[in-house]
Structure formats: structure tokens, C-alpha cells
Structure 1
Amino acid sequence: MDLIKIAVLSLSSAAVLFILTKLMGDREMSELSMFDYITSITIGSIAAEMATSLEDDFRRPLLAMVIYGAVCFVISLLTCKSITLRRFFEGHSLIMYQNGKLYNKNMLKAKIDVDEFLAMCRVNGYFDLSEIHTAILESNGKLSILPMAKNKPVTAEDLNLNPEQSFPMSNVIIDGKILKNNLQWAGKNEIWLEKQLSAQGIKDIKEVMLATCDSSDSQLNIYVKLPVVSKNDMFQ
């Protein structure tokens, strides 16, 4: 009975965690601020206690989870409306490097040493500080870099070119199923899709693992399910 109870409570805590995470927003999963990080750890710890507790009353950890989630939700709303509260709970950006100067006090404030800073620069693709004009540590812990003008990638505007605006590719088929809303957004219909599949030799839509459509030039890119497993590993 104890094992069954643990299994039920584990599933229940996972469901509550999922609901609370959705209410608190997608930022909770991708770009955690210090407050989000603390709240996530606390809620996770309570959920683990709820899942493994064999006491009859599981409502205490459940109530604590809901309260933490509600507090985080309310604070998220307040920080959207108040810059002062936003700075207090989420922090603010710090200049780590600018125009050939390292700001050691800001590094100390962020608890980042020179080696860590250089590693973050390398992750962003900069191995030489002379290529960087400004490096800013954002409140989510990521480093934003403004390169020197001479090291910026060349753009079409720099070359006095005027290319046509491209649009996001629409996924119109995934795992053999037509995504009708995406197909409609791309300005196409199922009749057009069937003709395109037939023109590319696709007889059964279930053979298609992914199909994307470019609304600007009506090009359909098809990726079929391969019946064999590739034995070549270029990374080993």
C-alpha cells in the first residue's frame, strides 16, 4: 500500500508542478532570475516531500506548493507593472567590459572572475577581447556582447542590397499528420499539399516525418521517415 501511495502522490505532485509552472510562465523554465530560481527549488523540494511522505495528511505540502506558486504569480504580475519591484526581484544588468576596460567591481558584485568571464566570451564566439566593444551580464546570467564595428558581420544594408523579406517556415506535416491551422496560415490548402506530395513521389502521407512550407515562394520541404539506421557517426 505504501508503494501505491507513493506512486499516486508522485503523479499528483508532478501534475501540480506542471500546472504551477504553466501559471508562472514559460520564463520559469528558460531564463530564471534569482527569485525564480529560489522559488523553483523550494516548490520542487516540497513536491518531493509530498511524493515520498507516508503520512496520511498530504494537504500540508500541497497547500505550501500552491501558496509558493501563487506568491510567484502575483510577484510576476507586479514586476510587469513596477520597474522598482522588477529591479528588486529580478536584478539588473551589469557592464563587465567596455572599450578595452574590465570593470572588476561589477565582476565582484556578480561573483564572476576573469576566467569565467573569458569562458562566457568564448561561448559567444569571441576569443579575443579586442573584438568586443561592450559585454553586459544580463539579469538571467547570460552575457550579451556588442562587437567592435569592424568585427560586425556584413549585412545586406552594408552592401546596398535590398533582398526580399523572408518569413518563418510553417510546419504543415508532423509525424504523418496535417497541421491544418499552419497550412491555412501559409495560405495553402490540402489540395495544394496533396499535389506537392504527389509531385515529390510521396504516396502515403504517413511516410512524411516533417514537411515545412515557405509562404513567400510556396516551396514545400519534405523529410521522410528513413527505414534504416545510420551507422556513421561523424563525431566519434
Structure 2
Amino acid sequence: MEILHITLTSLGSVVALFLLTKLIGNRQMSQMSLFDYINGITIGSIAAEMATSLEDDFLKPLTAMVIYALIAVCISLCTCRSMALRKFFNGKPLVLFEHGKLYKKNLFSAKMDINEFLTQCRGAGYFDLSQLEAAVLETNGQVSFLPLSEQRPVTPHDLGVTPPPETLTVNVILDGKVLEENLKYTGRDQKWLMTQLHAQDIGQIKDVFLATVDAQGQLAAYRILDKKVSHEIFE
């Protein structure tokens, strides 16, 4: 009976976690504030206690989970409406580097040493601080970098060029199956699709792992390959 009880409460805790996560909002770790992170750990711990509790009264941990979730929702709503509460719960961006100057006290406030900061810079592709105009620690723990104007990539605006607007690439075949609605969205039909596949020496749709149509109406098709490929250059 204990195994059955744990099985049922585990399933119940998974359902409760799913529903509460949908209520709170499922954000990635890098998008979480400190409060979101702590709240997530706490709810997860309560869910584990609920799953392994051998007592019949599983409503206690479930109630606690709901209360934590409601508190998170209330704080989220309040921070959306109040700048002061937003700064209190989420913090505010912190300038770490600007105009060729490193701010040691701000690095200390961010609990980040100079080596970690340089690692973040290299990870973003900046191996020389002289390429940077500014670096800012965001409230989600990520560092944003502003390159010098002469170091940033050239844009069409810089060249005086007006390119056509970008549109989404549409998947028309997935795992050997035609996505009819997507194909219709591109303004093409299966006859056109088969003609394009034959032009790429692909005889059957079932041989296609992925096929996409871009803004110019070009089809890119990728075959299903059964062999395993290993490259030692990545090891």
C-alpha cells in the first residue's frame, strides 16, 4: 500500500507542479529573478515531500505549494505595476565597464571577480576590452555588451541599402510527412513540392527528414540518414 500511495502522490505532485508552473509562467533559468529561483526550489522541495510522504494528509504540502505559487503571481503582478517593487524584487542593472573604465565596487556588488568578468567577455566574443564601449550586468544575471561603434557589424543602413523585409522560413516536411497547412501557407502545392524534391535527386517524401521553404520560395531538403557520424575534431 505504501508503494501505491507514493505512486499516486508522485503523480499528483507532478500534475500540481505543471498547473502551478503554468500559473506562475514558465521562464528559462537565465530569465529568472532571484525570487523566482528561490520560489522554484521551494515549490520543488515541497512537491518532493508531498510525493514521498507516507501520511494520508497530503493536502498540507499541496496547500503550501499553492500558497507559494499565489505569492509568486501576486509579486509578479505588483512588480508589473510598481517600479519601486520591481527594483526591490528583481534588482536593477549594474554597469561593470564603461568608457574604458572598470568599476571594481560594482564588480564586488555583483559578486564577480575580474577573471569571471573577462571569461564572460570572451564568451561573448570580446577578447580585448578596448573593443567594448560598455558592459552591464542585467537583473537576470546575464552580462550585456555594447561594442564600440567601429567594432560593431556593418548594417544595411550603414551601406545605404534597403533589403527586402525578412519572413519566417516555413517547415513543409518533418520526419517524412508533409505539413499540409504549412505548405498551403507558402502558396505551393504537393505537385510543386515533388518537382523540387526530384530536382534535388530525392524520389520520395518519406526519405526527407526536414524540408523548408524560405521567403524567396526556395526549398531546402535534408535526407534521413541512418548512419552515425563522429568527428574527432570536436573532442
TM-score (norm 2): 0.89
Identity, in percent, stands at: 51
Q: Secondary structure at the match of 1:222?
A: strand
How far has the Cα of 1:201 moved from its partner?
4.2
Instruction: Describe the superposition over 1:168-205 as per-residue Cα deviations: whole angstroms up to 9, x where unpaired.
Output: 21222222333344334434444543443444444443
CA distance, structure 2, for counterparts of residue 29 and residue 22 of structure 1 = 15
Write the distance in 2 (CA, Å) between the matches of 1:59 and 1:140.
Answer: 34
In structure 2, do the counterparts of structure 1 residues 7 and 121 end up closer, same or farther at CA, with 3 Å as the change threshold?
A: same
Q: 1:224 maps to which residue?
A: 223
| Distance across 2 between alignment mates of 1:63 and 1:203 | 59
Whole-Å Cα distance in 2 between the matches of residues 166 and 23 of structure 1? 34
Distance in structure 2 (CA, Å) of the matches to 1:47 and 1:76: 22
* Partner in structure 2 of residue 43 of structure 1: 43
- Aligned equivalents of 1:2 and 1:83: distance in 2? 50
For the pair 1:80 / 2:83, whether they are aligned, the reply is: no
- Is contact 1:176–1:209 with CA below 8 Å preserved after alignment? yes
Q: Is the 8 A contact 2:136 2:144 kept in 1?
A: yes
Question: 2:193 & 2:146 partners in 1: Cα distance?
Answer: 43
Equivalent residue number for residue 175 of structure 1: 175
Equivalence for 2:210: 210
The equivalences for 1:5-20 within 5 A come to 5-20=5-20
Q: Return the alpha-carbon distance in structure 1 between the equivalents of residues 94 and 203 of structure 2.
A: 57
Taking structure 1 as reference, are residues 185 and 89 closer, same or farther at Cα in structure 2, changes over 3 Å only? farther
Structure 2 residues not aligned, in runs of 5+: none
Residue 136 of structure 1 pairs with residue 136 of structure 2: yes
Within 5 Å, give how 1:91-130 maps onto structure 2: 91-130=91-130
d(CA) in 1 for partners of 2:70, 2:181: 34
- Find the counterpart in structure 2 of residue 52 from structure 1: 52
**1:149 & 1:67 partners in 2: Cα distance?**
49
| Larger displacement relative to structure 2 (105-114 or 42-51) | 105-114
Task: Measure the CA separation in 2 of the matches of 1:84 and 1:186.
Answer: 47
- Find the residue that maps to 1:133 and give its secondary structure: strand
Q: Is the 8 A contact 1:33 1:90 kept in 2?
A: yes
Give the distance between the partners of 2:179 and 2:77, measured in 1 at CA: 34
Deviation at 1:127?
Answer: 1.3
User: CA separation in 2, counterparts of 1:231 and 1:113?
Assistant: 38
- Structure 1 residues 105 and 182: alpha-carbon distance in aligned structure 2, compared to 1, 3 A threshold: farther
Q: For residue 66 of structure 1, what is the aligned residue in structure 2?
A: 66
Q: How much does 1:75 deviate?
A: 2.0
Unaligned runs of 5+ in 1: none
Three-state SS of the structure 1 residue aligned to 2:133 is: strand
Q: CA RMSD in A?
A: 2.1
AA at the equivalent of 1:126: Y
**TM-score, structure 1 normalization:** 0.89
Task: Find the aligned partners of 1:50 and 1:38 in 2 and give their Cα distance.
Answer: 18
In the alignment, is the contact (CA less than 8 A) between 1:28 and 1:36 conserved in 2?
no
1:55 Cα offset (Å): 1.3
Q: Distance in 1 between matches of 2:177 and 2:89?
A: 44
* TM superposition shift of 1:53: 1.3
2:39, 2:68 within 8 Å by CA — same for their partners in 1? Answer: yes
